[in-house]
Amino acid sequence: MTATDDVEELAVDALRWLRGTARDTGSGGLGWPVRPSDDTIDPQLYNGTAGVVPVLLEAWRHFGDDSWADTALRAARSLADAVDEHPDHSLYFGLTGIALALRTVHRELADDTAGAAADRALERVRSHFDGVRWGVLFELMGGNAGIGLGALAAGDADLAVRALEPYLETAEPTQAGGVTWEFKLGAPARLHHVSHGTLGIAYALAAVGTAAGRTDLVELGRAGVADVVARDEDGPDGFLVPHSDPHHRPDVVERYSYGWCHGPAGDAQVFRLLRDVLAEPAWTELADRCWHTVTRSGLPRRLRPGFWDNNGRCCGTAGVLALASDRIAEQGDSPGFARTLVADLVSRATRDADGARWSNLAHRPTPDRLEPQTGWAMGNAGIARELLRHVRLSRGGDPRYAFTWPDQPAVRGAAAQATEPIRPVGTELAS
């Protein structure tokens, strides 16, 4: 058995644990709680059932095992049941993310019931728009930017444009010659990165603007990026921008981190998108600078135990691995750092008869272990998906995901999505 086989076995164990935590919702549906000890299931993309669907489809494509497709269909049934009552409208916490998961099941598994439920979800999103926003958040995870990206991916380009247009009127000019936005109603801090800040909004403006032929949106996105680039503190070789200015919640939020949500591992995804839509070499250079900083940061060592350097896809090692795999697929990067990240995930897994899972640490003066989670952000769904992709890359296989995440560009140059299982064969990547 090779090292890659060992990683694949870990992913299998992680999927087995994930499947074991599912709850029967009646009428053939399956849903997932955020944590196994929770009393109720959660439909969210961030840490609930909608975020589990992508890894179920990933397992189906990777192994060619239809039982994973059947599980995804059952997950879609529970999501369809949540559409009419779920109170949030956003991509990561609400109906837009639920609609995207349902639309994907409809497209991939020809489930018309899921497609109809996706339509209902998007109609509820549309009907609750006040012309400017949906709630207190005004960014990618919980606000307009994410709703625009999710609507675009789910096939509703009109809703996507409507969600993004309010940024034209609300942009705040900055001293650097760019723009920024209030991420939360009434909050004085301006956040800079993907999850809740300027770069996440800029990503959505560029993606939706390009798809809709709206150069005004694309250029506004460029202006947002200009403000963030002007804040870099690790040039000329690296790229590192603080979390926020003025510092948001300095009692609990570190000034710098390195993952997807508030660091250069996520910033690079924005630069990858701009490289693709604007065809300008400067964006590749900025993405390379992000990688320079990430690989010299000390990760995957825990730099601040209990903070955002954890195991998960949102804030931790799995999110950095996603970018490492993108770079291997697109640029032929050495797989050495990716292997270091994977080895760290292997070493931190808890494995027993129930399968494999990961515990993060609470951000407290004396960090303690948290209960393992099921979902995309901090749990098995996000980690296992990246491990499966790493296995394929290590065997010279397909770098594409079964589900393209709306804020992570598909690898450049890949062919159209396969419809047959993509379990790869081949040789290991050279060191």
Tokens of 92: 């990561």
Are the C-beta atoms of residues 180 and 190 closer than 8 Å to each other? yes
Q: What percent of the chain has pLDDT over 90?
A: 89
Residue 429: is its pLDDT beyond 60?
A: no
How much is the pLDDT for 89?
A: 99
Contacts of 350 (CB under 8 A, 6+ apart): 356, 357, 358, 359, 372
Dist. CA 85–CA 160, nearest whole Å: 22
Residue scoring higher pLDDT (302 or 398): 398
How much is the pLDDT for 306?
A: 62
Dist. CA 69–CA 377, nearest whole Å: 22
Residue 431: is its pLDDT beyond 80?
A: no
pLDDT in tens, 203-228: 999 999 999 999 999 999 999 999 99
Contacts of 402 (CB under 8 A, 6+ apart): 54, 57, 58, 60, 61, 62, 108, 417, 422
Sign of the dihedral through C-alpha 291, 292, 297, 300? positive
pLDDT in tens, 23-80: 999 989 999 999 999 999 999 999 999 999 999 999 999 999 999 999 999 999 999 9
Neighbour-count burial of 244, counting CB atoms closer than 10 A to its CB (0-12 exposed, 13-18 middle, 19+ buried):
buried
How much is the pLDDT for 365?
A: 65
Sign of the dihedral through C-alpha 417, 264, 176, 252? positive
Tokens of 5: 């086989």
How much is the pLDDT for 387?
A: 99
- 179-180 and 172-173: which strand pairing? antiparallel
Dist. CA 363–CA 349, nearest whole Å: 19
Q: What is the per-residue DSSP string for 167-233?
A: HHHH-EE-TTS-EE--SBTT---EE-STTTSHHHHHHHHHHHHHHHT-HHHHHHHHHHHHHHHTT-S
CA angle 144, 150, 154 (to 5 degrees): 140
**Neighbouring C-alpha atoms within 13 Å toward the C-beta of 107:** 20
pLDDT in tens, 263-295: 999 999 999 999 999 999 999 999 999 999 999
Between the CA atoms of 104, 356, 47 and 58, what dihedral angle is there, to the nearest 10 degrees?
Answer: -10
Q: What is the per-residue DSSP string for 315-340?
A: TSHHHHHHHHHHHHHHH---SHHHHH
DSSP 8-state symbol, 123: H
Instruction: Give me the residue spans of the domains in the chain.
Output: 176-297
How much is the pLDDT for 369?
A: 86
